């Protein structure tokens, strides 16, 4: 279990368990995170949701994030990490799913350096590009980014940036790969088995 450490190397008050949840767009991460929260009591943190909430708050930090996004710039890792760190510290829970982060190796290295937290493991939803594309085009969420050109750009970014993060943790034996092409219920059976085995180890 990782111990959270702040930038001045003082330990945060509690030990926390962090699991990174990664997978391509349309791999079903959000659906499964909701199931894990319900079944195993984790707190679900989405980097994108935290950034959007900060913008909505109207804070100085939120305005800066909004301006960067409007100018097409990438929000610095430290900004996202500080939001994640604050959410972890302010939460009464000690078990967290961090969804869709780190997006690249720089995110990963910065997260471990700033927080002092090394994830217990990465839950990787593995799904073919064809299946993810089919799901994104079929879903009725009215999202502007669910058109074929944008979807393919998102796949390209994912393949180039996020897969190296998965490979990094895989080389350390920290990846639990889930076949996300199966039906939702079957995918959760596999997820359930991963988390049930963790709880057994903790109990032991």
Annotated binding site: 26-31, 52, 73-75, 100-103, 107, 139, 143, 154, 182
Of residues 93, 96, 100, the one with CA closest to residue 46: 100
Q: Is 202 left (phi over 0), alpha (psi -120 to 50) or beta?
A: alpha
Token pair listed for 118:
């090394």
Instruction: State the binding site for a ribonucleoside 5'-phosphate.
Output: 52, 73-75, 100-103, 143, 154
From the number of C-beta atoms within 10 Å of its C-beta (0-12, 13-18, 19+), residue 124 rates as buried
Instruction: State the binding site for CMP.
Output: 107
Determine the Cα–Cα distance for residues 52 and 71; give it in Å rounded to an integer.
16
Of residues 42, 38, 44, 45, the one with CA closest to residue 94: 42
Determine the Cα–Cα distance for residues 171 and 167; give it in Å rounded to an integer.
6
> Residue 193: which H helix or E strand, with range?
helix 184-203
Instruction: State the binding site for ATP.
Output: 26-31, 139, 182
Of residues 30, 67, 27, the one with CA closest to residue 48: 30
> Residue 160: which H helix or E strand, with range?
none
If one counts every other C-beta atom within 10 angstroms of the C-beta of residue 10, the result is: 9
């Amino acid at each position: 279990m990782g111990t959270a450490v702040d930038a001045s190397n003082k330990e945060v008050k509690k030990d926390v368990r962090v699991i990174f949840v990664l997978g391509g767009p349309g791999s079903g991460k959000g659906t499964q995170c909701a199931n894990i929260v319900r079944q195993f009591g984790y707190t679900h943190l989405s980097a994108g949701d935290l950034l959007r909430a900060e913008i909505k708050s109207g804070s100085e930090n939120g305005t800066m994030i909004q301006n960067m996004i409007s100018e097409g710039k990438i929000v610095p890792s430290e900004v996202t990490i500080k939001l994640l760190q604050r959410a972890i510290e302010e939460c009464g829970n000690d078990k967290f799913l961090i969804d869709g982060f780190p997006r690249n190796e720089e995110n990963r290295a910065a997260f471990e350096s700033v927080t002092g937290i090394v994830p217990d493991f990465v839950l990787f939803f593995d799904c073919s590009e064809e299946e993810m594309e089919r799901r994104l085009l079929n879903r009725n969420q009215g999202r502007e980014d669910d058109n074929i050109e944008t979807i393919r750009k998102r796949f390209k970014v994912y393949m180039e940036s996020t897969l190296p993060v998965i490979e990094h943790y895989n080389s350390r034996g920290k990846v639990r790969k889930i076949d996300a092409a199966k039906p939702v219920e079957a995918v959760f059976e596999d997820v359930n088995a991963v988390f049930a085995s963790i709880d057994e180890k903790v109990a032991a």
